[in-house]
Structure 1
Amino acid sequence: MSSLIKKFSLSILLVAFGVSISEASSYIYLSEDSLVSFIKIKDRNLQDKKIVDYIKLRFQQGPQNTIPEGKSEVYEKLDKYQVDDREALKYFIESTVQRRLSKLPEAETAMIKAIDQASKNKADFLIYSFISHLAFIQTDRGNPIGAIYSYGLAQKQALKLNEPLLQVYLNINISDLYYKLNLYSQSLYYLNLAFHIKEENKIKDDRFYTIISYNKAENFFRRRNLDSLQRCHDDLMGPNNKGYKLYTYQYRTAYYISILKHNYSNAITQIKELQSNKKYVHNDLEQQNLADAFYLNGQPDSASAIANQLLALPYSANHPEIKHQLYELLGKIARDSGDYKLAAVNFDLALKQSEESLNNTTQVGNVSAQIKIDKIENSFTDTAEKYRRERLILILISITTVFMFAVIALLYRSARQKRHYEKLLYDTKKRELAFINSHEVRKHLTNILGLVELMSESKDKKQEFLQVEKHLYDSATRLDEAIKNISEKLND
């Protein structure tokens, strides 16, 4: 199970970094038992996460001829075990398949339905995941405005889930979008932000170090900043790097350095050798870089052939920033050959693509600015709410403290009054007992002693006793009563 989870982590990174999983060097096959084990997970967000990863691996990376059978199998399992979010997951599968088949409008429609269904079910992780995938589709369709808006929504959802790891993924994806729009400063800003979040939250995953270093290298290459590119390349060659595409990143940045050093023939050799290297994972801009290297090396025919091939691809149609560079390259080639009419046509096409790209960039900037304003407002609101809660807590603590002091003061005062009244009562009882002792006890005791003395001096003691017997008994009785009275008061 641990090895399976590692494979899933890899797939998350591939998608999060905007990398097509079909570029992976090998397909990781997942059995139906894997899906069932994920379905049986009790925690809803974790269950959704594992199933989403399973779907991405099976339908993005698996053999295309197994897709129809795979859909039926997964649908059957989702229905059999009554998975809460099965309808949303089915739409996600459909979107993933349509994107795999390059049917982007259908993929976007299915993904929007998946988001709607997940929102109805309040499936927080699915909402985040589906909105992020919608941004990927919108980027592929050449809709950067929609993509940046979707990323903004995904960021809010990531904050709601309170998972810094998701925020790192999103910032890397946003940086990739800005890179494709030639907004390199913005792209570098989000890469630095992703690295800051990783470090601040102590996320121990060296693959982030690798992908951030590589994406920075891409930006520095486009900005013709050789020194910074060289530092990124050196970082990628260091011991702290991991990831299945590390080999690709190292060799790609190596030929980038050759181009910026104007060693174009060496760059051409490097690129061609990599094209036949099975360990190397190609990307969409590889051929464009080769065309530029051919042109700069004085091989315009090879450059022109590659540029025309790229313009014929469906992917280029959705990306005016790519078409602008290709038409500009064809214009330069035509101009250098003296075909000024063809050069003018190509430069005119390049200008139109540049205008469209600039328009997209401007609108993305506006949406991005609004997202930042919303983020600041939300941050201000959150801070104000935090201060309000802290103030209420402080007030409550103050009131509680004052109340406690008041209670303590009252208890202290009550204790003092009690001691005072007890002293008064004690003094009163003491005086009363002294009075009884002096007036009652001593009086009767003196009478008894006097009578006894009188009898002792008499010659006829018997006669004398008969005379004082009544008085002696009466005094003894009164003395007994006085002693009992004292005893009772002492008991009180």
Structure 2
Amino acid sequence: MSFSSVAQDIGLKEKIEKLSQEKDTISKIVLMGQISYMYQYKDSYKSVLYADSALKLAKKLNYQVGIAKSYNFLGLAYAAIGKLDFALKNYLDALSTNKNAGLEKETAKNLNNIAEVLITIGDVESASIYVKQAYEINKKYNNLKSLAMSLSLMSDIYLRKSDYDKAIYYLNKARFLKADEEQVFDSGFYYTKLGKINLLRDSLQQAINSFNKVLNFKNAEPDQVINAYTGLAIIKSKKKQYAESKILLNKALSIANKTHAEIQLLYVYEQMIKLSEDMNDLNKQIYYLTKKDSLKGELLGYNTSGNIFSSLNKILTDKKDKENEELRIQSNFSEQRLNKQRNTSMFLFIGITVLLLLGFVALFNYRNKNRAYKKLDIANQQILKHNSNLEQIIEKRTAIISQKNAKLKEVAYFNSHRVRKHMANILGLINIASFEDEKQEFFNLIESEAKNMDETLSEINAMTHD
């Protein structure tokens, strides 16, 4: 078996065995994607099945990285069998998922894959837009492998434009881009593309050398080997070595049928038709024309009616409409947020204004209260002063009254004895007169004592007015 198929089969078996034993769901998603890729040129049904299963599992977990990668693997599976509209749809879904998840670095490979589909159908102008976007993102994140793919796709675009010098320039730039001191592209990939460029520019010997290097490369992929055999067959036909060309094309045809490499199979059929025409074999020419048209009809979107373009344009238009709708929603959200910010700013301004007014009112009240407190303090000082003077007056008057009271006590004590003397004399005379018949003398004495007492009382009265 060739193409390192034994080693690939062993690797595939190991992956499947590991998947059956794996418990971690995220690891299962990763393994299913890898198995899908390994099945691409072995069993197209299983390639699609594993990628689709990974996608469903990732969606169940809402694992955005896994969803994007699964979409990408599903796109690769469809691209390998020529279902380009399905491939493009899944590449675009992968791109959208990565963008929404904020995984800009991962979008570069999605952009590259979209560009590759567009180049395959001949829409190099649209492809250029996607490649340039991928190139800038890869440079930004120093993603060398994806950057090399962007450069390789630039080479394909210039090849479509028949600018062979630029095609070789970008291919070599991609080839000699190194990651960890190793070239990013292997020999199978590089020499397949280089052989095709040299073939189209009629550098036949250089093309032969390149295609032979592909056939001698043990890890060459089936599509690379098909292209190498087909390229060598074309060169043989150019040299009119039709029998040898037919042998080479049959080898390419056999590999394409076994590996379900539908796009390469179309390429082989085209060369079979040309060879049959050169060999004047009308029956074979009709046979391969029928095969080619039948295959184009089977491949979704890749047929003679031009449905590929309408299908892809619909996908791109739907995607653009969805993006525009998302932008519209985002714009409405931004406008609502801006209005909310404006309202908040207005309320904040009003609040600040009210606070300032309250501050001025509080300051005004504080100043008024401060003035009132000052006036009250002055009044208190005056009251304290008056109180102090009043206390002094009271103390002074109290001292005078005390002096007068003491004097009054002394006078009262002295005069009480004087009055009592007159009263005692009068009472004694009255008592004696009661026993005597001749009372006139006693009355005269009583009258005299009464007058003396009156004089004493007058003296006392005069003393109280001093």
1:75 matched to 2:75: no
How far apart, CA to CA, are the structure 2 residues paired with 1:84 and 1:364? Answer: 37
* Structure 2 equivalent of residue 287 of structure 1: 229
2:146 equivalent among 208, 216, 222? 208
Amino acid at match of 1:466: Q
**Does the 8 Å contact 2:12/2:35 carry over to 1?**
no
How far apart, CA to CA, are the structure 1 residues paired with 2:352 and 2:80? Answer: 71
How far apart, CA to CA, are the structure 1 residues paired with 2:190 and 2:33? Answer: 34
- TM-score scaled to structure 1, two decimals? 0.65
**Distance change >3 Å, CA 423–CA 364, structure 1 → 2:** same
Amino acid at match of 1:164: E
How far apart, CA to CA, are the structure 2 residues paired with 1:208 and 1:93? Answer: 18
**Distance change >3 Å, CA 451–CA 365, structure 1 → 2:** same
Amino acid at match of 1:117: L
* Structure 2 equivalent of residue 173 of structure 1: 113
Q: Deviations over 1:114-150 (max 9, x none)?
A: 4333322333333322232222222233322322222
* Structure 2 equivalent of residue 153 of structure 1: 93
**Does the 8 Å contact 1:229/1:257 carry over to 2?**
yes
Amino acid at match of 1:64: D
- TM-score scaled to structure 2, two decimals? 0.68
The structure whose Rg is larger is 2
After TM superposition, the structure 1 = structure 2 runs for residues 245-284 of structure 1, keeping only pairs within 5 Å, are 245=185, 247-248=187-188, 251-276=191-216, 282-284=224-226
Structure 1, unaligned runs of 5 or more: 1-21, 25-59, 456-461, 470-492
How far apart, CA to CA, are the structure 1 residues paired with 2:358 and 2:262? Answer: 86
How far apart, CA to CA, are the structure 2 residues paired with 1:233 and 1:436? Answer: 103
How far apart, CA to CA, are the structure 1 residues paired with 2:147 and 2:13? Answer: 38
* Structure 2 equivalent of residue 383 of structure 1: 327
**Distance change >3 Å, CA 61–CA 445, structure 1 → 2:** farther
SS at match of 1:372: helix
1:466 matched to 2:466: no
Give the total of aligned pairs. Answer: 399
1:414 matched to 2:414: no
* Structure 2 equivalent of residue 30 of structure 1: none
**Does the 8 Å contact 1:236/1:246 carry over to 2?**
no
**Does the 8 Å contact 2:176/2:183 carry over to 1?**
no
1:104 equivalent among 41, 44, 48? 44
**Distance change >3 Å, CA 185–CA 289, structure 1 → 2:** farther
Displacement of 1:240 in angstroms is 6.2
1:140 matched to 2:80: yes
* Structure 2 equivalent of residue 445 of structure 1: 389
Displacement of 1:357 in angstroms is 6.8
How far apart, CA to CA, are the structure 1 residues paired with 2:16 and 2:366? Answer: 90
* Structure 2 equivalent of residue 64 of structure 1: 9
**Distance change >3 Å, CA 223–CA 294, structure 1 → 2:** farther
After TM superposition, the structure 1 = structure 2 runs for residues 322-401 of structure 1, keeping only pairs within 5 Å, are 322-340=264-282, 342-343=284-285, 346-347=288-289, 350=292, 360=302, 362-401=306-345
Displacement of 1:285 in angstroms is 1.5
**Distance change >3 Å, CA 288–CA 86, structure 1 → 2:** same
Structure 2, unaligned runs of 5 or more: 407-466
Q: Which moved more, 1:190-199 or 1:106-115?
A: 106-115
Q: Which moved more, 1:102-111 or 1:335-344?
A: 335-344
How far apart, CA to CA, are the structure 2 residues paired with 1:238 and 1:429? Answer: 91
How far apart, CA to CA, are the structure 2 residues paired with 1:325 and 1:72? Answer: 36
How far apart, CA to CA, are the structure 2 residues paired with 1:270 and 1:140? Answer: 23
**Distance change >3 Å, CA 365–CA 402, structure 1 → 2:** same
Amino acid at match of 2:9: Q
Displacement of 1:303 in angstroms is 1.9
